[in-house]
Structure 1
Amino acid sequence: MPSEKLSDTKMADLKSRLKALGNRYAVQILEVLSPQTGEIIPELGWDEIVDGILVLEGHEISKMREGSERTQEQVIYEEERGRLASGGTLYESMNKLVHIGFVQGLGEKGRKNRSFKITHDGRLALSAIKTMQGLIGGDTEVSKMARLLLRHKNFVSLLPGQEKFLREIGDVEGNLVIQMPPGSGKTFLAMIIILLRLQAGERCVYLTPYTSLNRQIIEEYGELFEHLGYSVVKYDAQSRVTEEDLNRADLVVGIYESVLFSLMHQREWTKGIGLAVIDELTELDSLTKRVQPQNLGTDRSSRLDFLVTLLKERAQTITLSSRFGETEEVLSWLDAEVFRPSFRLRPDEFLVTSGPDGAVVVSSDGVQRCICREKNLIDAVHEHIGDYKKKSMLFVVGTRLGAEELAKWLAKSHPREAHEGVLERVVRPAEVTSLTRSLSETLNCGVAFHHAGLQTSLRGRLEQEIKEGRVRCVVSTTGITAGTSFPFDSVIMVFDGSLQFLGTRSRYLQISGRIGEYHLHRHGGRVYLVFLQPSRRFRTVDDLRERLLHSQLEPLTPNAVDPSSFTNLVSREISEATRFKPDSLKERVLDLLRGSFNAFIDDGYLVKAERDVDGLIKWMKNSQLLESTGQFLKPTQKTRAAIDAGLDIIDYERIRDPLASLKVIEEEDALIDILLEFRLVQSARPRTVMPSDIELYLAELAKPEGWLVELTDGRNMVKKQVLLDWISEMTMAEVIDNAERTAEGLKVGDRPAWGSGLDDGDLVSLVTWSSSIAFTISDYLDRVGSNALAERFEVLGNQLKYGVKQDLGESDLMTLEFRDSTETSSRPISRTEARTLFEHGYQTIERVVKKDIDASKEGLARERFAANCGLEEDLALSIYKSALNRVRERLSG
């Protein structure tokens, strides 16, 4: 009985509180009295409360100067103010709020100078009301878009930084640099701005450094944009996207290099860009401390500099990143404002080292110190965490092999319960290789490894399982830190001499931020720096502590050397004119480069650029890429065709003569040799970059040493074998095993050529990029009238794209997509299914539909097809339906 009476009391109290909030002006009073995040609770008098309510209602406070006439706005404001102040409703509502305990009255009741402040109960009540109302007050365009995105994401609250943005930032008119920690909601804010620009009829681009980030953006926001009637296109090497798709798109989500390619070649779709959002601006900082022939062109910081330089002159520019040093330089360069919330959450940080009596775990501030029983430092981390099975943990290491080996060790030494269905969702039967078998073994023990050697699609499924909390122990290379926040309780960075990416405080913050600010806000978090052995960068644990935990943030400093991008920029200017004078061309190029960040921070950059333009023009003349017409120069007909087709001019000069000598009946290995000369194909693992003389000149480098030439020649053998095996329809596992055997026999001098094999994801990248180059060569050959050879490279592009022999490369069967009874969405036909159809006489989509049409026979053509094609009946009928739709589309189109 006492509990029932207590319950009745609580219910009566709740009713009285709700009744008080139902009075007119009650909620507005609480809003006026409520402080902003981090501010002191104000004490306000009646005049300030009245003014605050009028502001909430949309009025501007308009004070009159002595002796001046009142404006119409001032008259209206004074009338509204008098109405509020003279009526009894406001005072009555305030009395009820004071009585119920939501507001505290200060001073004697009835006195004019009495003031009020909101109580803790009042703030809780206001928070509850805001939650029911959608959390965002006001009726600005920004707040409307925020409410729309909150509903789409099914979020019940904004993060502190997002609240501050909505409170302080109106419609963003100019360029803006947003600096917020990982996982604090930067992308959400960018989407608000994108929606506003799309409503204004402007095309937008969202630029990311990695395909995984592209995928994440599309997965999280693509459906919303499509629902609102906006076309969204994903643009990267893994996407099947045409120029027509890009021309129609309202929003293009692309990686840096893909969009830079379009800008360099002045594709039509880039001419209408109104807003550019650049994610991870910290990529503008170079990781390359010393440029060498083997790493020339691998640093993307200079490419990002070119990209932003070309975009900021034509589009509003928004950048997203965590903090970096000397932000004012970037603000001046971009002519931008900065949004940088002052409050930051920070995880607990610990250094883990070996001691004489066991592992030593010390907090970064030196306050906490404990000696663990375990001498193994990874075991010590688990001991320090406690019940590790209840915690999610991310281990970050420097190499793929290191990630795999540590994951296997953790699966044996610290196994966890594997969630049901995870393995089946992550690893599909068709993807079984030695690498995915290893992943399957660790997943069965609740542990995963993650690196770029896994296929992109598999990584995407694994990341989804991690985000949803079904995989709670992950060992990864630094690639997992690329912009995606996961719900990890602890991040453990293992310094074993190989973690070269992690050399600055800003990079450290990027990795430690994988905990995510939302998770940090709700549950806290820990970061462990495990010092296993010294390296050139960190010789002692004190070096580690000083550089990563206590040093100032470094400024962004891009690499000044990227011969390929520089050459393409010159080619871009050449293609704009029928003919040109060298000096005028040089001035146009220098004028563009003056807008770069490199030129902004380095006075000597343009001096070198001027020398490089002169050298490049001289090389192009000597290579007969340009021809003279009096005082003018102009590209040859074939050079212009190469530029228009999208060929890198250095690549083109390298393959021009071998390509001209090719015959249509050449064996496939001769065609593959052409592809291996392209920098894009060379940059796929195992890396085979071999700079040309003009690249070495532009980079001011000497010729490569003999060991690099020997290593590159050996790795080219591996790549050639991989591509030939792939287009002979070997399985992925067979291709990789063959490559491993070839790589094992390679030597540089008398030493093994380490790192010459490749993983699943490397294979996908290699064949995808090779296919893209084959199509580009085909385009060039078509432009210069070599139609038969152009068609052969088109077929080769299909062979590499789908992993099929020449006969299937010439067929359109591989373009079929269908949905069978076991699939929830459509999928492309597999090469095994296509080969079965081909061998049974169905060589094209049209043959699938028409081969079994026979009026003299009973039954339907599709039923005869299902019986004759060699495939299981339900699968065959699904394929027939898709083929029939394609044929009808052709006839109607």
Structure 2
Amino acid sequence: MEIKSLELPAEVQKFYLDSGIEKLYPPQAEAIKKGLLSGKNVLAAIPTASGKTLLAELAMLTSISRGGKALYIVPLRALASEKFDRFREFSSITLKEGGIKVGISTGDFESRDEWLGSNDIIVATSEKTDSLLRNGTSWMEDITTIVVDEVHLLDSANRGPTLEVTLTKLMKLNPGCQIIALSATVGNAYEVANWLKAELVLSEWRPTDLMEGVFYGGNINFRGSQKLVPDASGDDAINLVIDTLESGGQCLVFESSRKNSVGFARRAGAKVSGLLDRKTRAALDGIVEQVIETGESEASKVLAQCIRSGTAFHHAGLNSAHRKLVEDGFRANLIKMVASTPTLAAGLNLPARRVIVRSYKRYDPNFGMQPIPVLEYKQMAGRAGRPQLDPYGEAVLIAKSYNEMELLFENYIEASAEDIWSKLGTENALRTHILSTIVNGFAGTRDGLMEFIEATFFAHQNDTWGIVSVVDECLDFLKHHKMLEGETHLAATPLGKLVSMLYIDPLSAAVIIEGLRKATNVTELTLVHLICKAPDMRQLYLRAGDYELINDFVLSHIEEFSEVPHPSKATDYEWFLGEVKTALLILDWINERSMDDISKVFNVGDGDIHSFADLAEWLMHSASRLARVTGHSSADMAITIEKRIHYGARQELMELVGIRGIGRVRARKLYDSGLRNIEDLRNADPVVLGGLLGPKTTEKLLQEIGSRPGIRPGSGTTGNPNSRTMDSMLGNEQSTFSDFDK
């Protein structure tokens, strides 16, 4: 089927023909025949690189040509950015005056983002989409096409319930809306398609052949054939990497842990570096400079060392800038091998000639090392084969015995992905969504609530009688904590509406409100611990040696905690110490302890620190709003701490860190040199600034603050234009657990 034969506007046809896309792949042609361009719902369960995104694009552009608006839902912020960059290429398509406009929304959960309504395509995470619905964003009713990328994540215990409820609400809000659901791996695709009332496109076709095998005995063993791999290093996985690179390909290696991915990247680098030409080495040096520029910790140096050798590692512990540098360097064929935890298998467009699953087991805290699901293996294997670049793709598992090789063939290569199941049926999952469903007016009675649940994927898979008692428990909880009121008719209280808009678990709100009520001496530590007590916060676990140190800290600050469990309740007390440990990380962050020190003391990566800080900022903002609505005096203190968490700095640096491009490290250098505000910087000798910041950064800084005639001032003093407004600032520095690493 050819592009020019499709019922598409001439501008759209021209865009794809100019891009070199003239014919559709077989699964794409099947989707067209099943009504993709005529507004029918479609679930495309087809392999990675077989054209899922093009299906979404054709549906969205067709809808826009008829005056519609499209929403593209993704699971990850990184994937949102990738799709946003792709869809911005549509600006040249003149379906309307000014071309097609694209917006992206992944941030502040309390914002309506009404400005996004002027766009034709809006890209958002499922959580952000849910929050837009909760906040009553008006343009949500104008959506005519909804694309759900990675729809198999309905099965995720963390993200699945939000995606499921969001889709259910969107289908009720826009009953005539077209839904395009995409996934590479859905075991029970028919069941998901039935729920969505969608036509199913189910295919194994790939543009690049995928060969799946097991490495054992010096060979990659496929069903019916073998491929000898020369022994270049004594390490099976490194041998596979070198073999790939020598034939002109690139490698992704999936590891069982962050530590293993870093270790393998370093070991492989010693061999890979010898295969690099001078031009590649020079380009890699440029990436290395950017890695060092955008990192504060020792991990940056390790990553830089690997990249200089042509390898890299990728996991959630890296900061976002480093992850993007690794991804872009790999796409440009400069970085030849990336060792990763499963983060790279989660939808990012990063294919390679050969995918090596070095370990098919993962650590489970309850059961030890356990085999990964087939679905996870299929996601990894699907990264093998770069369209238009590779003649084929190879996915290789590694076995230590013949019996293990046979087991891997049976349990992974020849197995089908597991069925996906709704995770909505628990109190933890339902509590927040019941509140938001009532706040949004999707239900106003208990019967109406059950009717809404009947429309979910959970009800499509299960009898709902089993969930009735859970719903009643959630309603009782919400009424007890004054978030809902009424018996026959259910209505959200002002507190309930606020909690829903803040996008926090009602249990988190209850914990914070109760903690504020009980606290007798509210300090910085009190508030930071309170948000670390909330179930929405990630928790650090106690390690050997932590108990005594943190217990001593608690005893010396006992009056600053709203509540301390009795040590005789061992489980409760250990969990409490974990909360305190998490609070200490946040306190170290806002008191400017170095990233390197925090990483070493708490055994976390740069990305983890930023992740903790993002969560803490959101929850501290929520605490300030809850304190205000309940009349507690700590609201202003919480607002101050919120801003300090955003920048990771003490109060005296707030004006400097608000300047774009001046982070907490540079701000501290300036402040300690006597340059303590924007006026000081405007009056400073550029040579002095250059000595402190470097010439390039100084030039950008001077442009930003508008210190020279003819230079228009930037938005330096406002900080992030999307950040929340701060009502007031209070400075009350407090020392943190400074001897924790001794």
TM-score category by the smaller chain?
0.7 to 0.9
Q: Are 2:494 and 1:494 equivalent residues in the alignment?
A: no
1:589 and 1:566 map into 2 onto residues whose CA distance is: 11
The amino acid of 1:653's aligned partner reads: A
Shift of 1:570: 1.8
1:142 and 1:542 map into 2 onto residues whose CA distance is: 52
Q: 2:63: which partner in 1?
A: 197
What's the TM-score, normalizing by structure 1? 0.67
Q: 1:602: which partner in 2?
A: 462
Shift of 1:138: 3.7
Answer yes or no: is the 8 Å Cα contact 2:528–2:583 preserved in 1: yes
2:540 and 2:644 map into 1 onto residues whose CA distance is: 18
Q: 2:650 aligns with which of 789, 796, 805?
A: 805
Answer yes or no: is the 8 Å Cα contact 2:219–2:227 preserved in 1: yes
Task: Label 1:738 to 1:170 Cα distance change in 2 as closer, same or farther (>3 A).
Answer: closer
Q: Which has the higher contact order (CA 8 A, sep 6+)?
A: 2
Shift of 1:468: 1.4
1:198 and 1:706 map into 2 onto residues whose CA distance is: 60
**Structure ID, larger Rg:** 1
Shift of 1:592: 1.2
Shift of 1:150: 5.3
Q: 1:588: which partner in 2?
A: 448
2:676 and 2:652 map into 1 onto residues whose CA distance is: 9
Answer yes or no: is the 8 Å Cα contact 1:175–1:318 preserved in 2: yes
Task: Label 1:144 to 1:719 Cα distance change in 2 as closer, same or farther (>3 A).
Answer: same
Shift of 1:260: 2.2
Pairing 1:544-693 to 2, within 5 Å after superposition: 544-575=408-439, 585-603=445-463, 606-623=464-481, 625-626=483-484, 637-660=494-517, 666-682=522-538
Q: Are 2:713 and 1:884 equivalent residues in the alignment?
A: yes
Q: Are 2:386 and 1:530 equivalent residues in the alignment?
A: no
1:240 and 1:309 map into 2 onto residues whose CA distance is: 21
Deviations 1:406-431 (A, max 9, x none): 11221234544253232432513240
1:660 and 1:212 map into 2 onto residues whose CA distance is: 39
Q: 1:512 aligns with which of 381, 385, 389?
A: 381
Shift of 1:140: 2.7
1:178 and 1:447 map into 2 onto residues whose CA distance is: 34
Answer yes or no: is the 8 Å Cα contact 1:234–1:241 preserved in 2: no
727-736 or 767-776, which deviates more = 727-736
Percent identity for Structure 1 against Structure 2: 20
2:80 and 2:428 map into 1 onto residues whose CA distance is: 24
Pairing 1:43-442 to 2, within 5 Å after superposition: 136-138=3-5, 140-141=7-8, 144-149=11-16, 151=18, 154-155=19-20, 158=23, 160-161=25-26, 164=29, 168=33, 171-225=37-91, 228-237=98-107, 243-286=113-156, 298-313=157-172, 314=174, 315-340=177-202, 343-344=205-206, 345-353=208-216, 358-363=217-222, 365-368=223-226, 376-378=235-237, 381=240, 385=243, 388=246, 390-415=248-273, 416-417=275-276, 419-425=281-287, 426-442=290-306
1:424 and 1:496 map into 2 onto residues whose CA distance is: 35
2:215 and 2:257 map into 1 onto residues whose CA distance is: 20
1:595 and 1:471 map into 2 onto residues whose CA distance is: 47
Answer yes or no: is the 8 Å Cα contact 1:182–1:516 preserved in 2: no
Answer yes or no: is the 8 Å Cα contact 1:485–1:513 preserved in 2: no
Task: Label 1:591 to 1:435 Cα distance change in 2 as closer, same or farther (>3 A).
Answer: same
1:494 and 1:218 map into 2 onto residues whose CA distance is: 33
1:446 and 1:731 map into 2 onto residues whose CA distance is: 28
1:283 and 1:593 map into 2 onto residues whose CA distance is: 19
Task: Label 1:452 to 1:708 Cα distance change in 2 as closer, same or farther (>3 A).
Answer: farther
2:292 and 2:92 map into 1 onto residues whose CA distance is: 29
Answer yes or no: is the 8 Å Cα contact 1:586–1:610 preserved in 2: no
Shift of 1:280: 0.9
Q: 1:691: which partner in 2?
A: none
2:76 and 2:108 map into 1 onto residues whose CA distance is: 11
Shift of 1:607: 1.3
The amino acid of 1:281's aligned partner reads: V
Answer yes or no: is the 8 Å Cα contact 2:313–2:338 preserved in 1: yes
Answer yes or no: is the 8 Å Cα contact 1:264–1:569 preserved in 2: no
The amino acid of 1:816's aligned partner reads: I
What's the TM-score, normalizing by structure 2? 0.79
Q: Are 2:598 and 1:728 equivalent residues in the alignment?
A: no
Task: Label 1:792 to 1:686 Cα distance change in 2 as closer, same or farther (>3 A).
Answer: same
The amino acid of 1:217's aligned partner reads: K
- SS in structure 2 opposite 1:642? helix
Answer yes or no: is the 8 Å Cα contact 2:212–2:394 preserved in 1: yes
Answer yes or no: is the 8 Å Cα contact 1:771–1:797 preserved in 2: yes
Task: Label 1:644 to 1:301 Cα distance change in 2 as closer, same or farther (>3 A).
Answer: closer
Answer yes or no: is the 8 Å Cα contact 1:658–1:674 preserved in 2: yes
Shift of 1:478: 1.2
Task: Label 1:766 to 1:249 Cα distance change in 2 as closer, same or farther (>3 A).
Answer: farther
1:348 and 1:758 map into 2 onto residues whose CA distance is: 37
- SS in structure 2 opposite 1:679? coil
* Unmatched tracts of structure 1, length 5 or more: 1-35, 37-134, 287-297, 689-704, 740-756, 818-827, 853-861
- SS in structure 2 opposite 1:277? strand
Q: 1:758 aligns with which of 604, 609, 615?
A: 604
411-420 or 831-840, which deviates more = 831-840
Task: Label 1:734 to 1:412 Cα distance change in 2 as closer, same or farther (>3 A).
Answer: same
505-514 or 440-449, which deviates more = 505-514
Q: 1:776 aligns with which of 619, 622, 630?
A: 622
Aligned-CA RMSD value: 3.9
1:200 and 1:677 map into 2 onto residues whose CA distance is: 50
- SS in structure 1 opposite 2:621? helix
The amino acid of 1:609's aligned partner reads: I
1:430 and 1:767 map into 2 onto residues whose CA distance is: 17
Task: Label 1:868 to 1:481 Cα distance change in 2 as closer, same or farther (>3 A).
Answer: closer
- SS in structure 1 opposite 2:225? coil
Deviations 1:483-512 (A, max 9, x none): 233342111111363388974444333211
The amino acid of 1:306's aligned partner reads: V
Task: Label 1:832 to 1:449 Cα distance change in 2 as closer, same or farther (>3 A).
Answer: closer
1:362 and 1:188 map into 2 onto residues whose CA distance is: 34
* Unmatched tracts of structure 2, length 5 or more: 364-368, 547-567, 720-742
- SS in structure 2 opposite 1:350? strand
Answer yes or no: is the 8 Å Cα contact 2:294–2:321 preserved in 1: no
Shift of 1:376: 4.3
Deviations 1:515-570 (A, max 9, x none): 246247x5212221112489xxxx93323211212234433223344434411222
Q: 1:3: which partner in 2?
A: none
1:840 and 1:264 map into 2 onto residues whose CA distance is: 47
Answer yes or no: is the 8 Å Cα contact 1:816–1:883 preserved in 2: no
Aligned length: 666
The amino acid of 1:180's aligned partner reads: I
The amino acid of 1:589's aligned partner reads: L
Q: 1:452: which partner in 2?
A: 316
Answer yes or no: is the 8 Å Cα contact 1:394–1:490 preserved in 2: yes
1:527 and 1:626 map into 2 onto residues whose CA distance is: 52
Task: Label 1:414 to 1:830 Cα distance change in 2 as closer, same or farther (>3 A).
Answer: closer
- SS in structure 2 opposite 1:523? coil
Shift of 1:590: 1.2
Task: Label 1:672 to 1:322 Cα distance change in 2 as closer, same or farther (>3 A).
Answer: same
Deviations 1:746-771 (A, max 9, x none): xxxxxxxxxxx211111111101211
Task: Label 1:239 to 1:143 Cα distance change in 2 as closer, same or farther (>3 A).
Answer: farther
